[in-house]
Amino acid sequence: MIYLLGFFQCQDVTKCLSKVSHQVIAIQARMGSHRLPGKALAVLNGIPVLAWCIGQCLRSDVQDVVVTTSECPEDDPIVELSQSVGIRCFRGSRNDLIDRLRRLTESISAEKIVRISGDSPFIDPTLINIASRIGATESVELVTNVMKRTFPKGQSVEVLSRSLLERLASQDLDEFNREHVTSFVYDNSDEYSIINFESGGDFGRVQLSIDTQSDLETMRFIAGLISKPVGGWRELVRLRSTYCAFS
C-alpha cells in the first residue's frame, strides 16, 4: 500500500505511523521577545497564542508535545500556561537552544525533535505530519520546509535528529548560531544530510507568524473568522488576503 503525502510516499503505513511515536514536538516559547514582549500569552479570540499553537500540534500524529522555555523567572507564565492545558514544560538555557533541545532529547529518550515556534498559532498539523513521517523513514539529520522557504512564515517545521543536536552541541558555535539552532546547518548545508520539502508555490513572503504588533492584529482578525478545527495553511493564506483587503 502506498501512503501519499504531497511528494512523500510511505510503503508501509503501520511502520511509518509507529515510528512517529519516537519523536516529540518541542514548541519553543518565551516571554522576552525583542519586538513584541509577552506575545506568547497575547490573546486571539479569547485564547493565548501559545495555547493555539499547542492545540494545533496536538492535532498532529506525533504523540508527544512539550513546551520548551528558559529557566528565567520571567518565563514562569509559560510554564503555568502549559501546565494548565496538561502539557509538560522543559526548561533550559535562555540563549543556547541547541543545548536546551539536546538536553530535552536526553531527558525523554527521544530520537528526533519536531521543532515548532510558539509564535505560530495556526501551524498546520498536516505539515507536521509530513515532516515527522519523512524524519521517521529517512536517515537524515534534518527535515525542513524552510531551507528554501515556499510555505508562509508561521508554517515552519523542522525535524532534528538527536545525533545532529549532539554534533552541533560539540562544536564551537557563536551565540547567534546556538540560539537559532539550525542557522549553522543551513549555512553549511553540504556538510549535513537534509531533506527540504516544498509547497509547490511561492508563499514564503506571506506572514502567518507573530513578530510585531501589526502581525498580532492580523492574527486576531483571522482568529475571529476561522472555525474550529482550524483549516489548512492555504485557507489561512486566503483569510489573510481578506484582512489585507479590508485594512
Domain of residue 80, CATH code: 3.90.550.10
Which of 148, 165, 166, 164 is closest to 156 using CA atoms?
148
Distances (CA, A) of 203 to 97, 146, 154, 212, 218: 27, 11, 11, 19, 17
- Radius of gyration, CA atoms only, the chain: 17
Nearest-angstrom CA–CA distance, 49 and 52:
5
Residue 227: the pLDDT is: 74
- Of all helices (H) and strands (E), which one includes residue 23? strand 23-28
Q: Is 152 helix (H, G, I), strand (E, B) or coil?
A: coil
End-to-end CA distance of the chain: 48
Residue 32: the pLDDT is: 86
Residue 245: the pLDDT is: 59
Q: Is there a contact between 67 and 100 (Cβ–Cβ < 8 Å)?
A: no
Residue 246: the pLDDT is: 56
Domain count, the chain: 1
* Dihedral, 146, 40, 46, 243 alpha carbons, nearest 10: -40
Residue 6: the pLDDT is: 32
Domain that holds residue 182: 3-246
> Which residues lie below 8 Å from residue 238, measured CB to CB, with a gap of 6+?
none
Instruction: Count CB-CB contacts under 10 A for residue 219.
Output: 28
Spans in the chain with pLDDT lower than 50 = 1-19
